[in-house]
A and B are shown apart, each in its own frame.
Chain A
Amino acid sequence: MTSLHPPPLPDDTATIAPSASDPAVRAAGLVKRYGDLTAVDDVSFAVPRGTCLGLLGPNGAGKTTIIEILEGLKQPDAGEVVVLGRTWDHDPRAIQERIGVQLQEAEFQDKLSVYETLRLFASFYARPADLDGVIELVGLTEKRRAWVKTLSGGQKQRLSIGCALLNEPEILFLDEPTTGLDPQARRRVWEIIERLKTEGRTVLLTTHYMEEAERLADDLIIIDHGKVIARGSPATIIASLEAESVVQFAVAGRTHARLEHAELTALEGVRAVRSEGANIVLSVVHTQAVIAGLFELVRARGLELEDLRTHRPTLEDVFVSLTGKHLRDE
């Protein structure tokens, strides 16, 4: 499969047509309500062409509703969507010809083969891509004639992405492309998405896996309860924690009540303290100094540390510090 466009040039020359510098997708003030529940609450963003935007948030945050509004499947109660310079009210087919969509939980027909399924979807487009090229890109060449019901979860997901590529789309919408897959299958999907990014396609992806968001997204929007709670590149968002690392430990014995949050906050280099079950989690700037201080404090109080760990801050830490809960409720 050949790439549709050369990767977009930096937008500093007057020779670029105005339309080429427009964002691929623009959403302004999106609101969607279901009864009393506001599933999407005033969400705005723009996705520049050739970039990947990740919508990160826990289940039920409103990610799927947002992406389905962008795909033209749902009508927002307020707000505006512009996809490739067009709106869904005018000529939806023109947009559909140029976007590729992978839906969360959509299943294909069990008793059709990989090739038959792709062939059906290819027939809907004016200029479909070469089927065998798509099959190869998503790594299903050996499964070409296999019925859908014999495919593994990862293979089904790759078929689903394959179906989204049949029109050489300029924008790809991927709704939780790796949910429910094992780590190896997940990495294969990531490799495919990375390859599509290098071909210059715009990608919009929802996920509740922070590794996925960190690896694939150029820009991120973190969503909770339908609201945007953070945005920027993964690095910027992590940097907003202003922490060098995260220190996590438990106090041996029955309780950690004897270590007050105030005492820990008082340690030099500690930015934030929170409890997670039996664990205490510190966001810190001077890891070494904090750990030294922590040991001293613990010894002075006659306590013993257990399960001491440190790691570099992740998107998960940002999410927890913003909302007090984890992305995945395990």
Chain B
Amino acid sequence: MSRIDEIRELTRVRVLSFLREPEAIFWVFLFPLLLAAVLAFAFRSGDIEPSRVIVVDGPDAARLVEAFAVDEHLKIDVLPSRDAAMTKLRTAAADGVVEGGDPPRLSFDPQRPEAETARLRVLRALGLALEGGADPPLDEHLMTEAGSRYVDFLFPGLIGMNLMGTGMWGVGFAIADVRRRKFLKRMLVTPMRRSSFFLAFMNSRLVFLAIELTVLLGFGVWILGVPLRGNLIALVTIALLGAAMFAGLGILVASRVRTIEGVSGLMNFVMMPMWLASGVFFSYEKFPAFIQPALKLLPLTALNDALRAVMLDGASILTQGPELGVMAAWWALCLGIALRIFRWE
């Protein structure tokens, strides 16, 4: 048979083996949807989040509660004991604890952004009560339309993370498994071209990419209302390159390991930094400025940036040259090294 038959059959076998693993279906298709749904629910926008502040009962308590009443976003509870109040603060059931005195004392955890909001609200309420004045005029505009919510930021990152996960797990596990079974070795005594074997992994990733993208984009755009401002073809092109890049990284990670446990550990080791630092759940601009250029060179950062630019900013693919370049470079580098060091037995 021809080269094409060989690649087609290898691809077919990869797709079939994958689809016949129920766990794989869950992790690839259902898990990201569940995650998106849960996060969308948790970060649902609309109302301004109130600050939960506890006033410890005492001589000044009534005066404090009255002062805080000026701010409708201050949700006040009065607790008789300081200990009970502090426990609530420690468990994040409250954003701040106020005790009477001169001046009154506010306890809060500066690591939590909600605590800072609570501090400012408490400060303002006390200031207004002290001076008897009013707020300066301010026209408040709530950003609740599609495209500017947290879920809009999150969603392209979730697509990127999903492409990374399915690419690495799908390819890495499959390679470690066929190597462990000596199935690889068995193929080695046939005239199979080794390049066909790798091409089949790339091809099967493309088949699944089509399904993943349809499911995820459909859910994001129609259910969550995440905007797709750029060109769909541009988005698909970026996703294609991203999927190929992670398939290459998966092949590289699995190129020597002999066991499923080994490949799992190595995969997590490689993916963990990118889950945190590639701007999936929060922007990598939270990291110190000197480290950001390095973060931008991570495979997932490049993919996420390009996906966000096209989906949210409606950017043309032509403006995404650096990101596409980073991805192409990773793809070539991973495959190049993998082909050299790959262990067939």
Contact = CB atoms under 8 A, between A and B. Distances in A.
B186 A163 contact: yes
A303 B21 CA distance: 68
Contacts of A167: 190
Contacts of A111: 16-17, 20-21
A121 interface: yes
B187 interface: yes
Interface in B178-194: 178, 181-183, 185-192
B345 interface: yes
A182 to B, nearest CB: 23
A324 B11 CA distance: 52
Interface size class of A (residues with CB under 8 A): 20 to 34
A316 to B, nearest CB: 30
Main secondary structure of the interface of A (DSSP, over half): loop
Interface of A: 71-73, 93, 96-97, 99, 101, 103, 105-109, 111-112, 116, 119-126, 128, 163, 167
Given A103-B186, A111-B21, A124 B16 contact: no
Contact of A107 (B10, B16, B182, B189): B182
A111 B12 CA distance: 13
A126 B21 CA distance: 32
Contacts of A124: 1, 6, 187, 190-192
A72 B185 CA distance: 11
Nearest to A72: B189
Contact of A96 (B16, B17, B189): B189
B210 interface: no
Interface string B168-184: 00000000001001110
Interface residues of B, number: 25
Interface string B1-32: 10001101110110011001100000000000
Interface core residue of A106, A116, A123, A126 (most chain B CB under 10 Å) = A123
A45 B200 CA distance: 40
Given A112-B13, A124-B190, A124-B192, A106 B5 contact: no
Contacts of B21: 111
B171 to A, nearest CB: 15
Closest 10 pairs between A and B when the two form their complex, measured CB to CB = A123-B9, A111-B20, A107-B181, A106-B182, A124-B190, A101-B189, A96-B191, A124-B192, A106-B186, A93-B191
A124 B186 CA distance: 12
A225 B187 CA distance: 29
B1 A73 contact: no
Contacts of B182: 103, 105-107
Nearest to A117: B13
Contact of B189 (A71, A122, A126): A71
A125 B13 contact: no
B30 to A, nearest CB: 20
B16 A108 contact: no
Contacts of B183: 106-109
